[in-house]
Amino acid sequence: MKYFLVEVDEQYMAPTLLGWFGVIDKKTLAGKGPYQIGRHLLFPVESNMQMVFTDVITVPCFMVSEMVRNVIRKYDSRIYFIRIISLDKKNRQSMAYYIPYLDPIPCIFRKDRDKAGKPCIEVEKKNVEGRVIAEITDGYYSHVIMRMDLVESILRRQAIGIGLREIKMI
């Protein structure tokens, strides 16, 4: 089965959360359990005319919209999510995002580049067998990958702003 790296499409400007450092950054989330973070966290976003509430955000951590969370839960109901509210005060809009708690899987980030100029990523098949979504890391960088059937289900629901790159399985 194919896996894809999930990121924000370059054609979209995702919301930029303000005041997240020390609350939902990678180090804070890794050091605490899902129940220690809090149930509903509210973060203002930078107001920008081109900003779109995409269905995936990758900064400061991987977050998905409610629609994507519901699709993920259909494939794996054991994944726990933390709810984040992003609020654009100037345009009077808000959207809920959900941070999935995923166990990291080791991977290899090669120095050579693909056609788009991004580093090639290799993941061992045995590490992702049976998983529909996983966090891959080389110790410094981390990304989220999804199995092809999950990605197809999300795209069929007309997700906004999702960029995909196929991952090389070794």
pLDDT in tens, 104-140: 888 776 666 666 667 777 888 888 888 999 998 876 6
Instruction: Name the residue range of residue 118's domain.
Output: 3-169
Q: Where are the alpha helices (DSSP H) in the chain?
A: 26-31, 34-37, 66-75, 125-128, 148-156
Local confidence band at 20 (pLDDT 50, 70, 90 cut-offs): confident
Q: What is the pLDDT of residues 45-74, one digit of tens each?
A: 988 888 999 999 998 889 999 999 999 999
**pTM for this predicted structure:** 0.86
Q: Which of 21, 87, 32 is nearest to 60 (CA)?
A: 21
- For the chain, the domain total comes to 1
Q: Where are the alpha helices (DSSP H) in 76-124?
A: none
Local confidence band at 166 (pLDDT 50, 70, 90 cut-offs): confident
More confident residue, 48 or 86: 86
CB 98 within 8 A of CB 63: yes
Please tell me whether residue 127 adopts helix, strand or coil conformation: helix
- Specify the pLDDT at position 125: 86
Token pair recorded at residue 166: 């196929």
Omega before residue 60 within 30° of 0, cis: yes
- Specify the pLDDT at position 56: 95
Among the residue ranges 15-24, 26-35, 42-51, 100-109, the one predicted with the least confidence is 26-35
Q: Is the pLDDT of residue 32 over 80?
A: no
